[in-house]
Amino acid sequence: MRYDIYFHGGCFDGAASAAMLLYFLRLRGDDYGKFIPLTHPINKKWWKKLKPKNQMAIVDIIYHPKAAIWFDHHPTTFIDKKWEKNFKNDKNHVLNDGSPSCTGLIYRHFTKKFPPKADQPLAEKIGPPKRIKNLAHWADIIDRARFGSAKEAMGFGSAALRIAKSFVDKKPSLDYAKLLIKALSEKPLAFVEKFKPVRTRFLKHKRDLKKSLPEIKKRLVLRGKVVVLYGMEKRLAGARFASYYFYPQAKYSVRILKRDNNYVLSVGQNPWNPPKRPMIGQYLEKKYGGGGHSVAGSAAFTKKSDALREALNIADYLNKHV
Ligand SMILES: [Mn+2]
């Protein structure tokens, strides 16, 4: 059986989840058809009406009842109340918002709950190879930013981090995502990072980061316990953690980012100085129809003035909930 794999595009965990699923699909004699990246904000009308022609597998993103396989760890994954009500975890459909990464969730599902049987075509009787375990390990660290500090998160201390950096700051390119997904499912991280396109993109990120840090610093404003990043008309490398690098006392950050024709507010908690009870994704979903999980989320606006005003409103709301 061939599955079209829909994955969270432009995200290391999204690509790594697709790679992890591909590994276990092949183990049972299945394979992929197409890779289809999905990025937020998702066109909900289109998604509700979607009637996939091929078998659909979805990882690290939005639920669809027609999916033959679906794994996610985002609590805002249901865009329809009925879908949520009728959903049950089973062998091929799993939601676990406690899992630090979707890659790790898939790995644990197929190794612990449904380990491959010895008579499966390619089953490795001694369990999955170390590289697959490693991929889950690093996705768990990277997707939840489980680093010792903002500096470490922005650094290049492991092959997984270098690969992730080669991926996150570039506008998601499907060709590159495909290359990475296949590589990650077949080769160890230390091998993948030596691929020329990976290396080239990583080195570019390194140069970009050096240039962008002073620019980011100029655009940061601390409002109570929330650091707000203004004026991001262009993508600046390293912007995800730089807020906490420059303002470690902040509990939250709000970033105003330009994405095509939208102004996206990306909201997160400081992983190194977390608030007590963050409810970010849920709040953004309720108020703006955005999405995310408890520690990070986003909301999109078409007008810049709306985005700027709501960035401050969100900051004020968060200041009351530190
Ligand atoms: Mn994820």
All residues with CB under 5 Å from ion ligand 1: 13, 60, 102, 143
How is residue 139 written in tokens? 């996705």
| 61 and 156 together in one domain | yes
Residue 140 vs residue 171, higher pLDDT: 140
d(CA 252, CA 295): 9
Determine which helix (DSSP H) or strand (DSSP E) holds 297, and give its type and residue range. strand 296-301
Ligand 1 centre to CA of 255 (Å) is: 19
d(CA 180, CA 135): 12
pLDDT over 70 percentage in the chain? 95
pLDDT in tens, 215-269: 999 999 999 999 999 876 777 777 788 999 999 999 999 999 888 889 999 999 9
**CATH (domain of 287):** 3.10.310.30
Mean residue pLDDT of the chain comes to 91
**Mean pLDDT across the stretch 200-216?**
92
> Does residue 70 sit within a domain?
yes
pLDDT in tens, 275-284: 998 878 888 8
Ligand 1 centre to CA of 73 (Å) is: 7
> Does residue 200 sit within a domain?
no
d(CA 172, CA 38): 10
Number of domains in the chain: 2
Ligand 1 centre to CA of 320 (Å) is: 28
| 34 and 128 together in one domain | yes
Considering only CA atoms, give the Rg of the chain: 19
How is residue 78 written in tokens? 């249901």
pLDDT in tens, 118-159: 666 555 555 789 999 999 999 999 998 889 999 999 999 999
- Given a cut of 90, whether residue 39 has pLDDT beyond it is no
Residue 2's pLDDT is what?
97
Q: By residue range, what is the domain housing residue 257?
A: 213-320
- Given a cut of 90, whether residue 293 has pLDDT beyond it is no
| 57 and 133 together in one domain | yes
Ligand 1 centre to CA of 155 (Å) is: 20
Residue 120's pLDDT is what?
62
- Given a cut of 90, whether residue 315 has pLDDT beyond it is yes
Contacts (Cβ under 8 Å, ≥6 apart) of 226:
250, 251, 252, 253, 254, 314, 315, 318, 319
Which of these ranges, 27-41, 128-142, 230-244, 299-313, has the smallest mean pLDDT? 230-244
> Does residue 273 sit within a domain?
yes
Backbone angles phi, psi at 262, to 5 degrees: -110, 155
> Does residue 207 sit within a domain?
no
Q: Which residue has the tokens 């953690």?
A: 241
**Mean pLDDT across the stretch 291-310?**
90
- Given a cut of 90, whether residue 191 has pLDDT beyond it is yes
